[in-house]
Amino acid sequence: MKNHLFIFILIGIAFSCTAKKAKQSLTADQTVFRDVNLVNVSTGAINKAHVIVKGKTIEKILSPDEEVDFAKAKVIEGKGNYLTPGLAEMHAHIPDKPWDDPLVQETLFLYLSNGVTTIRGMLGNEAHLPLREKAATQEILSPRIFTSSPSLNENTVSTTEEATKKVKNYAESGYDFLKLHPGIRKHVFDSIVAAANKYGIPFAGHVSNLVGIRHALKNGYQTIDHVDGFIEGLVPKEAGVNPTENGFFGYNFTELAEPNTIAELVALSKENKVWVVPTQALFDRWFSPIPAEELVAQEEMQYMSPQTRENWVNSKNNLTTGDNFNEEKWKKFNQIRYQLIKALQEDGHGLLLGSDAPQVFNVPGFSIHHEINGMLAAGLRPLEILQIGTLNPAKYFNGNFGAIKEGMEADLILLKANPLEDLNRLKNPLGVMARGQWISEEMIKEKLKQIAKKNK
């Protein structure tokens, strides 16, 4: 009897093992990245897997050892390649034109072509509200869109009454947040804060030099962009400067700034949970000693119109030639910015990846790679930079994206090599997936070719 029982147990074990290895059959409505190297942006680990997408979401992640029938599914070969989450451009601009305008479509594609699957539009327009919905329902090929209100600045909100009225209107219109620009007087800013809290809409953007970085941080900005106001905040009170004479993001106060007070401002940002979007690409390219002629000759400039390129050359030359710009002073200014960025990463609430595109010599999509280089120059590690472009934006938006996990929206970039070893490998992807929509390398090249031809 005991022998019979032993045999039955062995048979049961054998049957159980066989059942575990039963082949999984995929269906025609599934897309699979087969045998790909999966980049875990939380830990930096690399694991081989089959990543299966259905609709907008990542349905399953299977071990490559599992038996899978791929015959009916759409297969994207991943062997030897790497899969990362899509990137977020947290300081983007969209043309203020209807959703079906060709320039709008081209701009959105430029972002996608570089693996940017989420954009936060920083200069809102009423045309962006239906555009955001078209993107959400995938009626158009687009990154996920979040959009600000039209600008609140010294001209649009000159009184507390005007400020309160506009905040209410923008909240009721459905904008995701308010965009603040320079020049707002302190008492008007306080009315914006009160109205924003009342109507439940966050605010972000620039810090008015009449408000000051400390007052701004204590009043709950959702993000401060460009590291605006921080250099001014490093100037001691006894210097007695006129805040309106700060120059380009505090450049005029470079010699007065005391970097040993960085820790105080960083601590305030953490205490008040204020994210920072550095847009360092602006300061490494537009406001820098690099000649305009060198930048305008770069390959990515072919995707911008001749008029835009000409305007960018003029803008840079007006800003960085003559007695108002000094290369040695700029080096010190930029070094302080790097110190601020590194400290905000290590001890602040957190950084978000954003380059301010399209801005002077920042082509949509392409400029995110310049921003990545700026973060490297500031001393951030590759994994940290991937996190500020993926995990941090997802946390910021409380979104179901930013990592490659079952049940998350399928925002993915397929790459030829491991980006953690060299972040330049994020360029020229083998393909991009935006919430389940696959954009092949061939499609990217063809569409970029068309855009370049149009802008000759």
Domains of the chain by residue range: 87-399
Mean pLDDT of 402-407: 98
Q: Name 108's Cβ contacts closer than 8 Å, sequence gap at least 6.
A: 94, 135, 140, 141, 142, 143
Q: How confident is the model at residue 40 (pLDDT cuts 50, 70, 90)?
A: very high
C-alpha 118/C-alpha 112 separation (Å) is 9
Residue-wise pLDDT for 335-391, tens only, equals: 999 999 999 999 999 999 999 999 999 999 999 999 999 999 999 999 999 999 999
**In 3-state terms, what secondary structure has residue 358?**
coil
Q: Name 408's Cβ contacts closer than 8 Å, sequence gap at least 6.
A: 57, 58, 400, 401, 402
Residue 366 CB burial class (10 angstroms; 0-12, 13-18, ≥19): buried
Query: What was the pLDDT predicted at 5?
Result: 47
Q: How confident is the model at residue 3 (pLDDT cuts 50, 70, 90)?
A: low
Query: What was the pLDDT predicted at 23?
Result: 81
| Secondary structure element (H or E) that encloses residue 376, with its range | helix 367-377
C-alpha 70/C-alpha 16 separation (Å) is 24
Residue 14, pLDDT above cutoff 60:
no
Residue 287, by phi and psi: left (phi above 0), alpha (psi -120 to 50) or beta? beta
C-alpha 427/C-alpha 115 separation (Å) is 8
Q: Which two tokens stand for residue 195?
A: 């109205």
Mean pLDDT, the chain, whole residue set: 94
Residue-wise pLDDT for 210-227, tens only, equals: 999 999 999 999 999 999
The predicted model scores a pTM of 0.93
CA angle at residue 158 from 154 to 315, to 5 degrees? 15
Residue 13, pLDDT above cutoff 60:
no
C-alpha 395/C-alpha 382 separation (Å) is 19
C-alpha 272/C-alpha 201 separation (Å) is 17
**Strand bridging mode 203-205 / 116-121:** unpaired
> Any long-range contacts for 339-342 (C-beta under 8 Å, 24+ apart)?
339/259, 339/262, 339/378, 340/227, 340/230, 340/231, 340/262, 340/265, 340/266, 341/227, 341/276, 341/278, 341/280, 341/374, 341/375, 341/378, 341/380, 342/378, 342/379, 342/380
Beta bridge partners of 92: 121, 357
C-alpha 10/C-alpha 103 separation (Å) is 68
Of 365, 215, 345, the closest CA to residue 303 belongs to: 365
Beta-carbon-side half-sphere exposure of residue 216 (alpha carbons within 13 Å): 33
Query: What was the pLDDT predicted at 260?
Result: 95
Q: Which two tokens stand for residue 298?
A: 């770069």
Of 253, 237, 234, the closest CA to residue 245 belongs to: 253
Q: Name 21's Cβ contacts closer than 8 Å, sequence gap at least 6.
A: 66, 67
Mean pLDDT of 228-257: 96
Query: What was the pLDDT predicted at 392?
Result: 98
Q: Which two tokens stand for residue 308?
A: 């835009």
Mean pLDDT of 438-454: 98
C-alpha 158/C-alpha 151 separation (Å) is 12
| Residue type for position 21 | K
Break the chain down into helix, strand, coil percent, rounded to 5. 45, 20, 35
The rounded percent of the chain whose pLDDT value lies above 70 is 95
Query: What was the pLDDT predicted at 323?
Result: 84
Does domain 87-399 fall into CATH 3.40.50.300? no
Q: How confident is the model at residue 308 (pLDDT cuts 50, 70, 90)?
A: very high
CA dihedral 378, 381, 383, 386 (to 10 degrees): 10
| Secondary structure element (H or E) that encloses residue 75, with its range | strand 74-77
Query: What was the pLDDT predicted at 11?
Result: 46
Query: What was the pLDDT predicted at 18?
Result: 45
C-alpha 148/C-alpha 394 separation (Å) is 17
CB environment 308-341: b (16+ within 10 A), e (fewer)? ebeebbeebeebbeeeebeeeebeebbebbbbbb
